Structure 1
Amino acid sequence: MSTIIAVVTFVVAYFLIATEKIPKTHAALGGAGVVLAAGVMDSGSAFFSEDTGIDWNVVFLLFGMMVIVGILRRTGVFEFVAIWAAKRAKGSPLRILLLLVLITAVASAFLDNVTTVLLVAPVTLLVCDRLDIAPTPFLIGEVLASNIGGTATLIGDPPNIIIGSRSGLSFNEFLVGLGPIVVLEVALLCVLLPWLFRGSFRVDPERVADVLALNEREAITRPKLLLRSGIVLALVFAGFVLHSVVHLDPAVVALLGAGVLVLVSGTRPKDYLAGVEWETLLFFAGLFVMIGALVKTGVIDSLARLAADTTGGQALPAVLLVLGVSAVLSGFIDNIPYVATMSPLVLALTHDIPDPAHAEALWWALALGADFGGNLTAVGASANVVMLGIAARSGTPISFWQFTRKGAVVTLLTVALAAPYLWLRYFVF
């Protein structure tokens, strides 16, 4: 009975989120309330369990970075970067999009992709406001790039950290194994974007002339606060990159950075809390509880085992199946609990495969499928949800299907490119 309640609740809530019949936060919290009231989840499972509970690391990482970005926004640095990017691209919206996409993809390889989205989105909104163009293509393109770019390294996407822990693969092995395909996928994305958003790059020449005439240095209104914020942000980034050395979770690093910046900046609570996306944080909480119910009742585990058992112990079919199933499932449920559930099964599969290269390819298939699959729908990855929350607050909401129509195309083509890459690199050469 608990399994039926968990599945039906998730399907209904997902339907409400996808059709936008009610606000997505209401749907997520309502679904969480149902599984809690029905006894499928108790307070321990929902709030304290690492396997089924709310991922507080994600919630507090987002909160800490939102506070830091809120304070940083008061310095004028985002307007500075916006004007700089527009001038370097000579006011061409398409060239600006490609420049910001490349910056996002590279940054996401070395920072959490949610953090990258939080930093890039304000710049994007300012550029689009200056040029009087719709920001939707830019925001969608950047979040797609963040999910692809974050795949390249051990620290770029949370599922990779889980895979690294289970498999024993190092930062350098991730970079060597996944870096080449990520470069190809980013290039593919840059080719796709002008087609996906054709007709969206018209701009008034007078607006372009106005932007090109601006002096970006004049945008910095509080240089002392910028200096302090820059130092704190650099330390936070260092904490992210040196995770294996300092042994502090990214959420702890973000909260420490936010606390230090609040102290040294003297910013009032109403100012630095104004930038926090409270609805986004509550949406994540509800979504985690519903997904936790699927994990607790064994639904996700059963799906993963069915996929694994279908391969019959053969390496190449196993790799391709793990890649495809991971891409589909990660598009509909958060890829963190999915990878946490699937990684022990992949580990078991590797024990039956004598060739180390073939066994390693299984881990890359899981990472590529889970990370690229995050682009499939608007709720497939944390970065997607955050970006949609930012868009809504800026007055230019992006609907579930508006994102998913573009994301599904990108997911299909990126996964299709990843399959021959794994075959050629690990089974042919």
Structure 2
Amino acid sequence: MIVSAAVAIFLVAYAFIATERIDRVAAALGGVAAMTVLGLVDADSAFFDHETGVDWNVIFLLFGMMVIVSILKQTGLFEYLALWSARASRGRPARLLTLLIIVTATASALLDNVTTVLLVAPVTLSVCRRLGLPSAPYLISLVFASNIGGTATLIGDPPNIIIASRAGLSFNDFLVHTLPVTVLIVAGLVLLCRLLFRRQLGEVGELAAAAMQEVDPGAAITDRRRLTSCLVVLSIVMLAFGLHTVLHLDPSVVAMLGAGAMVLVSRTSSQEFLEEVEWGTLVFFMALFVLVGGLVEVGVIGELGERAAAAFGGQDLLAASSLLFGSAIVGGFVDNIPYTAAMVPIVQDLVAGSGNPGSGNPLWWAFALGADLGGNTTAVAAGANVVVLGIAHKAGEPISFWRFTKYGLVVTFASLCVAWLYVWLRYFVI
């Protein structure tokens, strides 16, 4: 009876999160409240138990990076990069598309996807209007680039942070295993977007192109001294992420130290750097961990893990392929964050049964690639998608669900094919 009730609560909460009938934070907290009433959750299991409680490493890593991004945003760095791309394109639409994809993908590897598109999309809209270009191809391409670019690093996409914490994977593990395939997929995305949008890119008038050449990207920088000091801190943070196994510092500690250092060198007030922190996202993550912990507590997750291990029976290629494509399909219709949180314990059991529990196990990387790349499938598959479509609608240039999705399906399928070939060749052939 208790098991059935726990599963029912989780499924109802998940359904509300997926359909967005009510706010996702409210849905997750409602599920936690119901489990608490049933006695499945208490203070010890929610806040202190490693298996069933909140993963504080994930929460503080996210918080630290949010503070860092908040301060960087105030320097005008991201507007500078977007304007630089527009000027460097010399008014050529296809070249502008290429530069924006590369800038967005690179930024998303260092920041989270939603923050990246929030910073770059408004500037892209402004540039398109100056050049007389339709904004939809550029905004849609930005979404694709942000979701793919975030695959490259531990901090680039929330699913990666969850997976890394539970699997004990380091920042360098992601650089070794996901960065190479991400570079390949981004290169393919450039070619694919130029093909998909070839009829919509149009031509830029000579006057508009000349006006864009006169744009000074440096004017976007509000305080060069602050920007320099912040970039120094960011570089040290990235270096510390790469050396955290040598320094014996968890990524969450590195992020918090980096946030503190950036606050000091930038002399930013608490009101300024805290106003950009996505408190709702942090609460949502905490509630998700407790919800999944409730299923772990009653043995549901363990049972599913055992059944999955028995079904694949040591067939790692079949398991990796199922995780890659299955995660992308499911993640295409529901937010990939709750999906990842629910699946991590099951994949953990699969990895344990494969006889290769180390960071080189292909199951972890197939899972991460599928969860990340599936974010491009539909207009609601990832937070960045929803944010950009909202920005476009507010600007009077709406992008419909089906317009986005028809391109998203093509990009996701092509990305998954490249990812599958990479997993097969790297882990099962070479």
Give the SS at the match of 2:184. helix
Deviates more, 1:360-369 or 1:53-62: 360-369
Q: Distance in 2 between matches of 1:31 and 1:403?
A: 32
- Relative to 1, partners in 2 of residues 1:384 and 1:255: Cα closer, same or farther, differing over 3 Å? farther
In the alignment, does 2:120 pair up with 1:123? yes
CA positional deviation for 1:180: 4.9
1:10-49 aligned within 5 A: 10-49=10-49
CA distance change for structure 1 residues 150 and 16 in 2, over 3 Å: closer, same or farther? same
SS at match of 1:310: helix
Q: How does 1:29-428 map to 2 (within 5 A)?
A: 29-91=29-91, 95-106=95-106, 111=110, 114=112, 118=115, 121-132=118-129, 133=135, 136-150=139-153, 157-158=160-161, 161=164, 165=168, 171=172, 180-193=180-193, 210-325=211-326, 327=328, 333-335=338-340, 338-350=343-355, 363-376=361-374, 384-385=382-383, 410-424=411-425, 427=428
- In 1, the alpha carbon distance for the partners of 2:400 and 2:62 equals 22
Post-superposition CA distance 1:21-73 (Å, at most 9, x none): 22222222222222223222222222222222222222222222222222222
CA distance in 2, matches of 1:379, 1:290: 26
Letter in structure 2 aligned against 1:366: W
Please tell me the residue identity of whatever aligns with 2:28: A
CA displacement 1:187-227 (0-9 Å, x = unmatched): 34334445777887579857665443211122222122112
Structure 2 unpaired stretches of 5+: 130-134
Question: What CA distance in whole angstroms lies between the structure 1 residues aligned with 2:359 and 2:222?
Answer: 51
| 1:415 to 1:362, Cα distance in 2 relative to 1, 3 A | farther
CA 1:142–1:323 in structure 2 vs 1: closer, same or farther (change >3 Å)? closer
| Counterpart-to-counterpart distance in 2, 1:30 and 1:181 | 39
Moved beyond 6 Å, runs of 4+: 195-200, 359-362, 389-394, 396-406
Q: What one-letter code is carried by the residue in structure 2 that aligns with 1:126?
A: V
Letter in structure 2 aligned against 1:303: L
Q: How many positions carry a matched residue from both structures?
A: 413
Cα distance in structure 2, aligned partners of 1:217 and 1:91: 18
Supply the AA of the counterpart residue of 1:22: I
Q: Are the equivalent residues in 2 in contact too, given 1:369–1:415 (CA < 8 A)?
A: no
What value does the CA root-mean-square deviation take over the aligned residues?
A: 4.2
Match of 2:132 in 1: none
Paired residues of 1:376 and 1:408 also in contact (CA < 8 A): no
Mapped partners of 1:207, 1:340: distance in 2:
54
Shifted more, 390-399 versus 223-232: the winner is 390-399
Q: What is the alpha-carbon distance in structure 1 between the residues aligned to residue 293 and residue 408 of structure 2?
A: 25
Compared CA separation, residues 218 and 30, structure 1 to 2 (3 A): same
The residue identity in structure 2 corresponding to 1:89 is: S
For 1:347, the aligned partner's letter is A
Cα distance in 2 for residues equivalent to 1:287 and 1:379: 23
TM-score, L = length of structure 1: 0.77
Q: Secondary structure at the match of 2:151?
A: helix
2:35 partner amino acid: V
Q: Deviations over 1:337-373 (max 9, x none)?
A: 633542343232237xxxxxxx999822431233322
Secondary structure of the corresponding residue to residue 74 of structure 1:
helix
Q: CA deviation at 1:84?
A: 0.6
- Is the Cα–Cα contact under 8 Å of residues 311 and 321 in structure 1 kept in the other structure? no
Deviations 1:99-142 (A, max 9, x none): 34334545666x4x63x763564134323234344675255223
Shift of residue 328, structure 1, vs aligned partner: 5.4
The separation in 2 between residues aligned to 1:22 and 1:16, in whole angstroms, is: 6
Secondary structure in 1 matching 2:287: helix
* Cα separation, partners in 2 of 1:78 and 1:321, compared to 1, 3 Å: closer
Q: Distance in 2 between matches of 1:53 and 1:94?
A: 48
